[in-house]
Amino acid sequence: MRGRGGPPMGRGMMRPNFRPGPPFRAFIPHIPFDLVQCESTFPRAKSAPEEKPFTEALLKRNVDLTPSAPEQASVLALVSKIQTILDNLVVTPGAFEAAQIEEVRQVGSFKKGTMMTGHNVADIVVLLKTLPTKEAVAALGSKVQEELKLLEPIEGKVLTMLTNDSGFEMSSAEASVKCLITTIPPNLKKLDPELHLDGKIMQSHLAAIRHSRWFEENAQHSSIKVLIRLLKDLRNRFEGLQPLTPWIIELLSHFAVVNHPSRQPLAINGAFRRSLQLLSAGLFLPGSVGIADPCEQGTVRVHVVMTLEQQDQVCFTAQTLLRVLSHGGFKQILGLEGNASIATEMSVWEGVVVTPSDKAYEKIEKKEDEEEMEEDADESVRRKTCSVKQYQNIQSICHPETQEDADES
């Protein structure tokens, strides 16, 4: 995974002899500017602006986004039933012939407490001991459905079961539970694309388990959860932020709330603004140190799952939003007023014309031409011009929750 998709991690590091030759270039990531980290260098020269309305708006928005109690209850009911059924299968391996279940775990936004209203989907990862053939998955789905019908004779009839690439999904009227199938790591090598589910998806489900464990241990502060919800909402409304995966948003929220010198969690208004500032300052641009994925071995910068174009897009959208925010447009940003056009069209705030940022990234073709010309001279160019396909592969490896929470929007 080393350096994949990012600027060069330095080839030839192990070269034993140091004859004068082609220069070797180690990749030393650039640490982007972060105002919170250098507050001492930038003492306030003027009084801090009034933040109260903004904070209130943020909290209000959070309330709006949090699923209501009935919603939560219905999801919880469904999840616990399915969990019980699956647990029974774990305990009595003989009861189900098609597959053997090693472990059942809840993951995703429901588990993390960051579920959003209108998206009452919970995720459960089912770790199979056996190889996950498509038939076995379908059989498992049917089995669960049957059990559910036995358990709840009336409601159980309303339930639908759909199989898909990643497993199957049980849906009732109010809630649905995605059962994500994966298998124990030794089995991953044995997967046959013809017979089994896709290995990358299997891996992503394994990663999802790690993510929820990390989250449980590190991101239980409610500011983080509130911020995650707000940022997810932002991402849903502003197209430019679509490339941000739930996992990136979670890491970014954690970073924005906790990661500063005093280690005291920032208030929600500060953290929200900081997230936009970090994005604007190019935290997720090429060359930046970004955020290292805590759930991957080695140093994987979490933003490399996005293509360069996407990185640019996320950055300039955030930059525009930040400027709108600083001119007092928080209601539009939070979706309390207006629409998403502020990110793409010119707007006027108290006499100040805010022109949306435009993309800076240039087409790959040209880059590739250059690359040809330059005889692969500059490695970083080469790195950045990796094909989109390559990126997508990486994305699916590193960031399973694109699938897991894919249809959150």
What is the distance between the alpha carbons of residues 148 and 8, in angstroms, rounded to a whole number?
52
**Residue whose CB is less far from another protein, 80 or 355:** 355
Residues whose CB falls within 8 Å of the CB of residue 73, separated by 6 or more in sequence, listed in order: none
**Residue whose CB is less far from another protein, 187 or 310:** 310
Length of the chain: 409
Segment 15 to 44, residues that bind another protein, using CB under 8 A: 15, 18-26, 28, 30-35, 37-39, 41-44
Choose, by CB under 8 A, the member of 106, 176, 245, 319 that binds another protein.
319
Regarding 129 and contact with another protein (CB under 8 A), the answer is no
Amino acid, single-letter form, for residue 244? L
Segment 335 to 364, residues that bind another protein, using CB under 8 A: 350-355, 357-362
What is the distance between the alpha carbons of residues 5 and 206, in angstroms, rounded to a whole number?
22
- Sketch the per residue contact string, 46 through 85, with another protein: x for CB under 8 A, - otherwise: x--x------------------------------------
**Residue whose CB is less far from another protein, 77 or 289:** 289
Q: Of 137, 103, 126, 155, which Cα lies nearest the Cα of 147?
A: 155
Segment 274 to 313, residues that bind another protein, using CB under 8 A: 277-278, 280-282, 285-288, 308, 312
Kindly determine how many residues on this chain lie close enough to bind another protein according to the rule CB under 8 A.
Answer: 74
Choose, by CB under 8 A, the member of 83, 380, 392, 393 that binds another protein.
380
**Residue whose CB is less far from another protein, 146 or 374:** 374
Write down the H helix ranges in 245-307. Answer: 246-258, 268-280
Choose, by CB under 8 A, the member of 56, 369, 376, 407 that binds another protein.
376
CA 39 from centre of chain: 29
Regarding 332 and contact with another protein (CB under 8 A), the answer is no
**Residue whose CB is less far from another protein, 221 or 367:** 367
Contact call for residues 233 and 119 (beta carbons, < 8 A): no
Residues 191-219: b if buried by 16+ CB within 10 A, e if exposed: beeeebbebbbbbbbbbbbebbebbeeeb
